[in-house]
Amino acid sequence: MTSRIFLILLATVGLLASCAHIEPHPMDMTSAIRNAKSGADHYALARHYEDAAKSMQAKADQQKKMLTEYQDHGYYYGRQTEDLIEHSQALARVYEEAANANMNLAHYHRRLADDVKQ
């Protein structure tokens, strides 16, 4: 009987843990943007967005490498080759769009920081 309760408890804890929300950013971006008043605040936000853009670009480059692997050695992957190619192309495009959006936000915050200085 105790092993049955233990298994039920373990399954419940596992289910609750799988539903836990994982924060994508280490800081609250909404309040950071809202509270940015000085040039240093905007420069910090610009650096954050630049780091995010570099990360997204690295992921896009990784997907492009995977794409060339799938195209060059498609015979390794059998019927899944076309799906893998399309998936890698889509991910590379999404990551590049995210990198561009983050760089645009970084440029915007750099301009705001320069305007605050003047």
**pTM, two decimal places:** 0.71
Residues 6+ positions from 54 with CB-CB distance below 8 Å: 99
Listed as ranges, residues in the chain with pLDDT below 50 are 22-23
pLDDT at 84: 94
Binning the chain into helix, strand and coil, the percentages to the nearest 5 are 85, 0, 15
Using alpha carbons only, give the angle 48, 93, 85 rounded to the nearest 5 degrees.
135
pLDDT at 5: 78
User: Is the Cα dihedral 69, 73, 76, 79 positive or negative?
Assistant: positive
Rounded CA-CA distance 1/56 in Å is: 51
pLDDT at 67: 95
